[in-house]
Amino acid sequence: MEERLRFITELLDGEAMTDVCRQFGISRKTGDKIFNRYKEHGLEAVSDRSRRPVRCATPSAPQGEVLQPDPANACGGLRLHEKLTT
């Protein structure tokens, strides 16, 4: 977070975006993203953000419901062995 604050401070002091990005070792695209977040949301946007996804990509079983295996398709070690060797 401190580096982002120094980055924004240098930009506000009038330094060119390209020069500041090169100095901090980041791409221009990343520099624009950091600075635009600062302009939109202030200092709170400069703090570390969670990388946790907003939503889960794969739906899970509803809470409280336990899925039971289908006995018609049940396979144990012996049944698998029979299927694979025949």
pLDDT of residue 45: 81
pLDDT band at 60 (very low <50, low <70, confident <90, very high): low
46 to each of 24, 35, 38, 41, how far by Cα in Å?
15, 9, 6, 9
Contact 62, 53 (CB under 8 A): no
Beta strands, E only, 1-86: none
- Please, what is the end-to-end C-alpha distance for the chain in angstroms? 63
Domain ranges of the chain: 2-46
- Looking at the chain, the whole-number percentage of residues with pLDDT higher than 70 is 83
pLDDT band at 64 (very low <50, low <70, confident <90, very high): low
